[in-house]
Amino acid sequence: MSGSKDQRAVSGQDVRRIAELARLRPDQEAVRQLTEELNGILEHVRVLETLDVSEIDEEDSLTLDPVLCRDPKIAPDELRGDAPRSIAPDWRDGFFVVPRLPALDQSDSSGDVVE
């Protein structure tokens, strides 16, 4: 992450890059809000780092397996364009078409459907 004062500060550029890898397109307000929230989380981590843990036995702490990360290479989005059409049982105007759920149809006492 970038930052002039703190190596762990998150910039809007960092948020946009992470969003791109997740195939998200946040608007400027969302980027601003996410940047603020992520920097708030990092501030909590900085506070935790000030705690004296010298008396805690390492064997008592939880050891996690290393986190597996995927390659940050952006792959083509397979659901763009008409690709879903090939797997859709029914496809109209860019949308999957599914049968109406019977539970959504309500009948009055005469059996007529009420919409």
* 11 inside domain: yes
Cα(2)–Cα(8) distance, rounded to whole angstroms?
Answer: 7
pLDDT tens-digit profile of 30-49? 999 999 999 999 999 999 99
Give, for 109, the enclosing helix (H) or strand (E).
Answer: none
* 28 inside domain: yes
* 42 inside domain: yes
pLDDT tens-digit profile of 51-102? 998 888 777 666 666 666 777 777 777 666 667 777 778 888 878 888 888 8
Tokens describing residue 92: 């109209």
Q: Are 42 and 8 in contact (CB under 8 A)?
A: yes
Q: Are 34 and 85 in contact (CB under 8 A)?
A: no
Strand 95-96 with 91-92, pairing: antiparallel
- For residue 38, what pLDDT is reported? 95
Cα(38)–Cα(2) distance, rounded to whole angstroms?
Answer: 13
With bands split at pLDDT 50, 70 and 90, how would you rate the model's confidence at 2?
A: very low
- Domain holding 6, by residue range, is 1-51
* 45 inside domain: yes
* 21 inside domain: yes
**Token pair 């105007």 is at which residue?**
93
* Domains of the chain: total: 1
pLDDT at 109 over 70: no
- For residue 4, what pLDDT is reported? 42
Q: Find the CATH number of the domain harbouring 27.
A: 1.10.20
Cα(3)–Cα(9) distance, rounded to whole angstroms?
Answer: 5
